[in-house]
Homo-oligomer: A and B are copies of this chain.
Amino acid sequence: MKYADKLLPREKVFRDPVHNYIYVQNQVIADLIDTPEFQRLRRVKQLGTTSFTFHGAEHSRFGHCLGVYEITRRICNNFQKNYPTKKAGDGLWDQSDRLVALCAALLHDIGHGAYSHTFEHIFKTDHEAITREIITSNQTAVNHILKQVSPDFPEKVASVIKKTYQNPQVVQMISSQCDADRMDYLLRDSYYTGTNYGDFDLNRILRIMRPYKNGICFESNGMHSVEDYIIGRFQMYQQVYFHPVSRSMECVLDRLLARAKHLYQHHPKTNGLHADLLEPFFNHQFNLEDYLELDDGVLNTYFISWKHHAKDKILRDLAHRFIDRRPFASVKYNQQTKSEIPKMRKLIKAAGFDTNYYTTTNNSFDLPYDIYYPNKKNVSGINLKRPDGSLVELSTVSSLVNAITDKLQGDQRFFFPKEMLECGDKVEIFQPLYQKFQQHIKNNTIIKKRG
Which of A12-20, A123-131, A252-260, A360-368 faces chain B?
A: A12-20
Decide yes or no whether A402 CB sits under 8 A from chain B: yes
Q: In whole angstroms, what is the CA distance A63 to B56 when docked?
A: 7
Query: Which residue from B18, B199, B227, B238 sits with its C-beta under 8 Å from A196?
Result: B199
What mask results when residues 26 to 54 of chain A are scored 1 for a CB within 8 Å of chain B, else 0? Answer: 00000000111001001100000001001
**B-side contacts of A193, CB under 8 Å:** 15, 17
What mask results when residues 277 to 319 of chain A are scored 1 for a CB within 8 Å of chain B, else 0? Answer: 1000000000000000101111011001100100000000000
Query: Interface size bucket, A side?
Result: 35 or more
**B-side contacts of A35, CB under 8 Å:** 324
Interface residues in A69-115 (C-beta closer than 8 Å to B): none
Q: Smallest Cβ distance from A2 to chain B, in angstroms? A: 17
Decide yes or no whether A414 CB sits under 8 A from chain B: no
Query: Which residue from B200, B231, B239, B293 sits with its C-beta under 8 Å from A400?
Result: B231
Decide yes or no whether A403 CB sits under 8 A from chain B: yes
**B-side contacts of A21, CB under 8 Å:** 203-204, 207
Query: CB within 8 Å of B: which residues of A?
Result: 13-18, 20-21, 34-36, 39, 42-43, 51, 54-56, 58-60, 62-63, 66, 191-197, 199-201, 203-204, 207, 224, 227-228, 231, 234-235, 238-239, 277, 293, 295-298, 300-301, 304-305, 308, 320, 323-325, 386-388, 399-400, 402-404, 407, 409, 442-444
A58-B60 contact given A201-B196, A224-B239, A399-B404, CB 8 Å threshold = yes
Q: In whole angstroms, what is the CA distance A325 to B59 when docked?
A: 18
A55 and B199 contacting across the interface, CB-CB below 8 Å: no
**B-side contacts of A234, CB under 8 Å:** 400
Q: In whole angstroms, what is the CA distance A16 to B57 when docked?
A: 9
Q: Smallest Cβ distance from A204 to chain B, in angstroms? A: 8
A16 and B56 contacting across the interface, CB-CB below 8 Å: yes
A195 and B55 contacting across the interface, CB-CB below 8 Å: no
Query: Which residue from B17, B324, B388, B403 sits with its C-beta under 8 Å from A192?
Result: B17
B402 and A203 contacting across the interface, CB-CB below 8 Å: no
Q: Smallest Cβ distance from A186 to chain B, in angstroms? A: 13
13 A-B contacts (beta carbon < 8 Å)? A21-B204, A36-B323, A36-B324, A42-B325, A43-B300, A195-B201, A224-B235, A224-B238, A224-B239, A231-B231, A297-B300, A298-B301, A399-B404
Query: Which residue from B42, B277, B296 sits with its C-beta under 8 Å from A55?
Result: B42
Q: Which residue of chain B is the closest to A197 with respect to CB atoms? A: B228
A444-B387 contact given A17-B192, A201-B195, CB 8 Å threshold = yes
